[in-house]
A and B are shown apart, each in its own frame.
Chain A
């Protein structure tokens, strides 16, 4: 049985994420855990994050950080929202925070354009820049639910982009890692489809 572990480091809407995964799971077992041995034994990892990036980085103990860095190099991994941002090189939030540097790109505050509200909150279209297994059965320009004030504007790992005043990177993919700025667990059927694809993904 495939073991999917949602990494619990005290930050993130774990309940929503695991309920959504359970809703599409067939034989996969979904577990929320912070235990290093459970994370090491997992077949797939989900890395959520919510709130301020510094709080999220600080919430990772040294052991947990090392384990995550080691394990996400070899297992299918799905990072969400601030979880995605943490995998990048750095963020200018909280006067500058170093990321885990697994994916290419930096995180910046949204520019305040006239009529553009920050946080970027609500449903927005996701445009595909490349093809990917996880986009299977998901129509081009589908709506996903976003809530964030900081974003990544360019990355060589970019998979999709979205416009809110300016274009930003709404998902990234590299090898076994898939990372999204939006919340699939709040994006109705389209979001569930994405999770289903993650469960079916063989790297």
Chain B
């Protein structure tokens, strides 16, 4: 036996409010990130990821406050991403109660930032988020993209994930931009190619439409963890249902 596979719900937060149409029953304020995080915690989420999609300078203090209130009420790991550009941003988030931070664009623009961050705060809290898009619709070559896929970087995803691993990343959050929002399932070829090339855990993201997709991400993709937003937000499935389905498929899960 070894460590259990993880299910990570992701909250997209805009100016302190959860977006993407949360539709929970028995929740007083569905837009309140703290309420939603508590709900996921109760359902058995293994971790929570919060993505600050505004990430503008003006709303930064709201983010720290949100992180602080989630962290003082929810006792599972919390990863925060969005707009992290400086070591000071990481320090403030960790001080507010985040356990890990997810770095995306600033890693691509300045790879040394990953090294500096891992040296200063430890690899355990540095997640590098990688948005991948297939090159000319090829099934086995991917390029790192930024700004929601609008900007192509020319970096090969497999080389990039190996490089940031060497630089001290503790984990890779891998999103397929070809699959994101499609509900067709993860790009498992991408997930397994990245995962087999590095020693650190890979979180699969982008494309989940049903519980079978989560199972495939682990069994076919070889991911250590699966991240999903909309299937949980719209209460299509609860996290407990997802975990039961994974357990029934023979996956080592915490239940």
Contacts and interface: CB of A to CB of B under 8 A. Distances in A.
Interface of A: 13, 15-16, 19-20, 23, 50-52, 55, 112, 115-125, 143, 145-149, 163-165, 183, 185-189, 191-192
A122 B75 contact: no
Contacts of A163: 1-2
Nearest to A112: B199
B201 interface: yes
Contact of B200 (A51, A119, A188): A119
A123 B97 contact: no
Interface of B: 1-6, 41, 46, 71-72, 75-77, 94-97, 99, 121-125, 170-171, 199-201, 222, 224-225, 254
A15 B76 contact: no
Given A50-B122, A119-B201, A188-B41, 20 more contacts: A15-B71, A23-B75, A50-B125, A52-B122, A55-B122, A117-B200, A120-B2, A120-B3, A121-B3, A121-B170, A122-B5, A122-B224, A123-B3, A124-B3, A145-B76, A147-B170, A164-B3, A186-B77, A187-B76, A188-B76
A146 B224 CA distance: 14
A134 to B, nearest CB: 17
A50 B122 CA distance: 7
Contacts, number: 96
Given A16-B97, A145-B76, A117 B4 contact: no
A15 B95 contact: yes
Nearest to B195: A117
Contact of A187 (B4, B75, B124, B225): B75
Given A143-B254, A146-B3, A117 B224 contact: yes
Nearest to B122: A51
B99 A16 contact: yes
Contacts of A112: 199
A118 B199 CA distance: 6
Contacts of A55: 122
A115 B221 CA distance: 12
Contacts of B72: 19, 23
B4 A143 contact: yes
Given A143-B254, A188-B41, A123 B2 contact: no
A70 to B, nearest CB: 28
- Specify which of B41, B199, B225 lies most central, judged by the most chain A CB atoms within 10 Å of its CB: B199
B251 to A, nearest CB: 13
Please give me the 4 A-B residue pairs with the lowest Cβ-Cβ distance, nearest first: A51-B122, A123-B254, A122-B3, A147-B124
A13 B97 CA distance: 8
B77 A145 contact: yes
A117 B201 contact: yes
Contact of B97 (A19, A124, A145, A191): A19
Contacts of A52: 122
B170 A123 contact: no
Contacts of B76: 145, 186-188
Nearest to A167: B1
Nearest to A165: B2
A95 to B, nearest CB: 15
Contacts of A118: 199-200
Given A23-B75, A143-B4, A145-B76, A121 B41 contact: no
Contacts of A185: 75
Contact of B224 (A121, A148, A183): A121
